A and B are shown apart, each in its own frame.
Chain A
Amino acid sequence: MSRLRGWSVAAVAAAGTCGCNRIQSALAPAGDQARDIGTIWELMLWICGSTYLLVLVALAFAMLRGHGDGHRVAGERTIERGLAGWVLLIAGLLTVLTAASFAVDRRLHATPENPLKIQVTAKQWWWQVDYLDPDPSRHLTTANELRLPRDRPAEIQLRSADVIHSLWIPALAGKEDLIPGRENRIVMTPRQTGDFRGQCAEFCGLQHAKMALDVQVLEPAAFAQWRNAQLAPATSPVSASARHGERVFVSAACALCHRIRGTSAGGVSGPELTHLASRRTLAAGTLKMDRGTLAAWLADPQAHKPGVDMPAVPMSARDREALVDYLMGLR
């Protein structure tokens, strides 16, 4: 149950101050694309809803009436006229809907000017996020968090390292698949700052359920500040314990899969950890990022996310404490 609490808190934490249950809802659009789709949804709701009611009412009448004497065909002519009218009505409504979705679809696929270029690579079961830049030394790699500036379209290249995943941030846009051997693309233009949540929408194996993405829309200035901070190498540990933790990290199994820029740890199979402590969730939205959950996670990842590739690395309690000290220092 404590596990569960940790997780729910994770979601709420990501929710921050806003109404928690809106952070992953298509009904609370916070970006152009989601809003456009929202209008289609309302149009659909009205047209389909009223048609549905019409049918039910007709059916009720038919049942309540029904005092014909049966066994003989009556009023074929009127019925056929009715049928023709009905078909015309449906066809007309469908044309409206088709035209509407064409229009919106075009807007979704429009190429934005001066977009923020991002590459998201899905891996079982987490997200690698690369902020691209013509200047390679400003190429930024992070994981399981997507921070966007308000009012600037973000053009996201979508790749997969293993199986098919699907990136879905309901509040900002629809979903797009990440398919091995292909490169897809999705554009989202956030209009409100705030905290949102994305999740993998295509079944991708054991932990499909725990592959979430912490999304945060920032004021452009705040975003630039964040990005520059992330570009810096890891802050070197200050306390003796943290220094010991760094030694543990680079000498034990951790360094094989994780990278911490500024150390010799250069693994890319696992999430980049250079600024781990500046994130708000652990293990792709599975846990809230704090000292306690981090320690629990390191002690036994399989208990929180069964099947994840991160093993429970055997180490002394002292080493693990030091490791946590070190990682919590990676702001």
Chain B
Amino acid sequence: MCSRFRTASAVALAVLLLAGCERERREYHAAPTQAPGTQPRLSTLQPGADQATPASAIGRHYENNAYHVSQGSKWYRWFNCNGCHGNGGGAIGPALMDARWRYGGSIDEVHASIMDGRPNGMPSWRGKLTDQQAWQLSAYVRSLSGNVRKDAVPSRLDGMRSTPPLTQLPELDPEGDDPSAHTVPQP
């Protein structure tokens, strides 16, 4: 995967170009939208089994596509997400570019937080946003914390300089110091 692209070699280049197809498709008409793979957990305390759930296929699909991420950045401003979350640093609402996620940082959980809303002020956008818009928005939100492949995110937008270029952000793994992170219980 391109975000793992570390060494310059003809092989890696070939991989990149192949990844091009997935990254570059402009899916304005028939992009997949369906229920997310995982439901958000608001607590790390989940009795029993391994909780590490990979992002759903649809989530990965949107994360890997530059057009969707870019549309997400548009919705983020059109629908006033920046009013509460700034350009990722937060304001009325929490920051989105750090590794702290109150309600989970996987794209499925972000999508669910957008659609269902959250008790302490996050409004529910179900019925306001189309599912595709919500997915695109979630993909962009993930890119703010460096969690989207770097060749699919815009370095900056035309506007006041705010965050470091998204293409240069370190990858903040929501499974790191995130209180609500998925952790595999040790035997």
Contact = CB atoms under 8 A, between A and B. Distances in A.
B26 A206 contact: yes
B85 interface: no
Contacts of A312: 130
Given A251-B127, A312-B130, A313-B130, A302 B26 contact: no
A302 B29 contact: yes
Contacts of A253: 127-130, 133
Interface residues on B, range: 10 to 19
Nearest to A255: B128
Given A256-B78, A256-B79, A309-B74, A302 B130 contact: no
Nearest to A181: B158
B139 to A, nearest CB: 16
A115 interface: no
Interface string B121-148: 0000001111111000000000000000
B28 A307 contact: yes
Given A251-B127, A252-B128, A257-B78, A311 B29 contact: no
A311 B127 contact: no
Given A180-B158, A253-B130, A256-B128, A269 B28 contact: no
A154 to B, nearest CB: 29
Contacts of B132: 311
A233 to B, nearest CB: 23
Contacts of B29: 302-303, 306
Interface in A257-303: 257, 267, 269, 302-303
A306 B67 CA distance: 13
B34 to A, nearest CB: 13
Nearest to A307: B28
A314 interface: yes
B28 A306 contact: yes
A307 B26 CA distance: 8
Q: Which of A252, A307, A311, A313 has the most CB of B within 10 A?
A: A311
B48 to A, nearest CB: 36
Nearest to A300: B29
Contacts of A257: 78
A313 B131 CA distance: 9
Contacts of B158: 180
Contacts of B26: 206, 307
10 contacts: A180-B158, A251-B127, A253-B129, A253-B133, A302-B28, A307-B26, A309-B71, A311-B133, A312-B130, A314-B130
Interface of A: 180, 206, 251-253, 256-257, 267, 269, 302-303, 306-309, 311-314
Interface of B: 26, 28-29, 71, 74, 78-79, 127-133, 158
